[in-house]
Amino acid sequence: MNRRDYPPLDQLVMNLDMALQTVFGQPKITERPNPADDLDDTELSEAEQRHVAGLMRINHAGEVCAQALYQGQALTAKLPEVRDSMARAAQEENDHLDWCEGRVKDMGSRKSLLNPLWYAGSFAIGATAGLAGDKWSLGFVAETEKQVVKHLDEHLESIPEHDEKSRAILEQMKVDEQHHATLALQAGGADLPWPIKKLMGLTSKLMTKSVYHI
């Protein structure tokens, strides 16, 4: 039974439960291992730890946004295969959430205090994109993932070279995000108009600058 087949009140409760798990609890992850598990810890200075914590906090908040986007889009997507694709992608984003949170804690830091705000806004955007039609919803996914990959490339250049654990996590996230973008385009995603891409980029910059510290 698909979530949209439930009564509206049940759907509300299910989405609230998903939001609480994502922002405050332990999201359900897939069978995949953490890419950093088999790597040795490396010595980082206090300044390096603060920097890595800030970058991984950004990535964690980005995955909170991605999770909310997928949940909103899955709720309003019209084709069953699109909803199924969104659901699997959301599960893989949960892996990223778990990996990033673990690395933030390794640095002796915390998740962003702004995560509830980012989740609510992203869920609304995702649901709106889904209502606009599956081709636009999928196009939004593809463009989001492309911009995430760009941020990951910047973070890979910025983290200390000897921080192999963070690097392994970011590299796997990059592979996953590129895969999600490809799947969205193959499923019929449309190329978004330039003004929307620009607005998405500006919003992303606002998020990264605020979450690095908060």
180 is in an annotated binding site: yes
Question: For the chain, which residues make up each domain, given as ranges?
Answer: 44-211
Q: What is the DSSP string of the chain?
A: --GGGS-HHHHHHHHHHHHHHHHTS-PPP-SPPPTTTTSPP----HHHHHHHHHHHHHHHHHHHHHHHHHHHHHHH--SHHHHHHHHHHHHHHHHHHHHHHHHHHHTT----TTHHHHHHHHHHHHHHHHHH-HHHHHHHHHHHHHHHHHHHHHHHHHS-TT-HHHHHHHHHHHHHHHHHHHHHHHTTPPPPPHHHHHHHHHHHHHHHHHHTT-
Q: Is 177 annotated as a binding residue?
A: yes
pTM for this entry: 0.79
Predicted local distance difference test score (pLDDT) of residue 166: 92
* 193, pLDDT greater than 60: yes
pLDDT at 1: 47
**63 labelled binding-site residue:** yes
CATH for the stretch 44-211: 1.20.1260.10
Measured CA to CA, the distance from residue 132 to residue 32 in angstroms comes to 33
- The answer to whether the annotation marks 46 as part of a ligand binding site is no
Helix axes of 46-76 and 115-132: crossing angle, nearest 10 degrees: 30
Q: Is 164 annotated as a binding residue?
A: no
pLDDT tens, position by position, 15-52: 666 666 676 767 777 778 888 888 888 888 889 989 98
Give helix 8-23 / helix 46-76 axis angle, nearest 10°: 170
145 is in an annotated binding site: yes
Distance (Å, whole) CA 67 – CA 87: 10
Q: Is the pLDDT of residue 3 over 60?
A: no
